[in-house]
């Protein structure tokens, strides 16, 4: 009887050990995936800020925007021009963007057009400055296999 009790206890302890190790493996995979996503998100945020800075300091002049999206710069004011639509998958970034393939992310900038802000009446029309609107979409990924992908977007309006 004592041997049977010991055998039952060993089976129960063995099942608990297997269950515990499976739980540990799952927690480890979740932690690794979270770290990958955090790195991808940090890459995307850094590239978004890089693109905003380039627009603000004039490194990317309006003349470089084209209908074909050369270098990831799209002029959406031209007839029939659309920016890429599949940017939420790692493969959606193949062959597009402003950066080369060696960076852990990429970005596109869309020119949205010119507008005049702050016009309250006809007298203000003469003093209002035209402004250009841009939308920046940046993606960051983890490693060359793009195991994690984070996409961020911002809109910016700059005086001409």
Listed residue (18, 92, 129) closest to 10, CA to CA: 18
Question: Is residue 137 helix, strand or coil?
Answer: strand
Task: Give me the average pLDDT of each 10-residue run along the chain (160 residues).
Answer: 87 84 85 91 94 91 82 86 84 84 86 73 63 91 84 88
Q: In what order do the strands lie in the sheet with 130-141?
A: 73-75, 105-116, 130-141, 149-159
- Cβ burial of 16 (10 Å; 0-12, 13-18, 19+) is exposed
Question: What does pTM read for this prediction?
Answer: 0.77
Q: Structure tokens of 101?
A: 């393939």
The confidence score (pLDDT) of residue 110 equals 92
**Contact between 158 and 132 (Cβ < 8 Å):** yes
Question: Is residue 60 helix, strand or coil?
Answer: coil
CA angle (57 as vertex; 99, 95 as ends), nearest 5: 15
């Amino acid at each position: 009887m004592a041997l049977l009790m010991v055998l039952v206890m060993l089976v129960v302890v063995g099942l608990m050990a297997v269950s515990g190790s499976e739980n540990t493996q799952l927690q480890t995979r979740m932690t690794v995936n979270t770290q990958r996503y955090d790195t991808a998100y940090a890459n995307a945020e850094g590239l978004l800020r890089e693109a905003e800075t380039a627009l603000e300091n004039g490194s990317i002049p309006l003349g470089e925007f084209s209908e074909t999206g050369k270098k990831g710069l799209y002029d959406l004011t031209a007839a029939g021009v659309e920016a890429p639509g599949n940017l939420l998958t790692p493969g959606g970034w193949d062959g597009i963007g402003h950066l080369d393939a060696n960076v852990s992310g990429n970005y596109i900038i869309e020119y949205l057009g010119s507008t005049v802000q702050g016009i309250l009446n006809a007298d203000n029309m003469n003093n209002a400055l035209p402004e250009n609107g841009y939308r920046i979409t940046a993606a960051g990924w983890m490693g060359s296999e793009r195991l994690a992908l984070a996409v961020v977007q911002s809109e910016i309006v700059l005086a001409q």
